[in-house]
Amino acid sequence: MKTMELNQAEVKNFRAPDEVREFPMGRMELINIGGATVGRATLQPGWRWADSVKPIAKTDSCEAAHFQYHVSGVLRVRMDDGTEFDCGPGDISTLPPGHDAWVLGDDPVVVVDFQRHDGLRQVPWMKPGPLRGWAERANDSGI
């Protein structure tokens, strides 16, 4: 297993992200720091992975793993096995590949998603390059 060495201090802020990606009913701000990517997703009421991302990813469910801190709003998650649960402010979640998710209620959901750069699967919208072509990049990397 690869280990990451931190040999310098870094401070970055979402007020000046390295990259911003917009997608239907949502936005992802990305910061590359310490050998990892940290993304802040803002998902508007009515957002659902199956409606906003599935047509782009061309998979039946989200095949990316997530490690997230939930800042605001309520996100309902349904795993491929049918298990459902809600994540709200202050929750920390890990989601394996194979899920759908959607915003509950009238408040936007804000989550901070942490992705390592050590060969583990990454969220397609966090991969370098234009928003178009997620499916191609995901297929190239085995996601």
pLDDT tens-place string over residues 109-122: 999 999 865 544 44
- Per-residue pLDDT at 143: 33
Cβ atoms 41, 28 nearer than 8 A: yes
Distance CA 39, CA 20 (A): 9
Distance CA 91, CA 141 (A): 30
Query: pLDDT-based confidence at 35, cuts 50/70/90?
Result: confident
- Per-residue pLDDT at 8: 87
Residue 103 has pLDDT above 50, yes or no: yes
**Mean pLDDT for the chain overall:** 83
Q: Which of 40, 37, 34, 33 is nearest to 15 (CA)?
A: 40
- Per-residue pLDDT at 131: 39
Kindly state the helix (H) or strand (E) to which residue 27 belongs, with its residue range. strand 26-33
Q: Which of 16, 65, 14 is nearest to 40 (CA)?
A: 14
Residue 3 has pLDDT above 90, yes or no: no
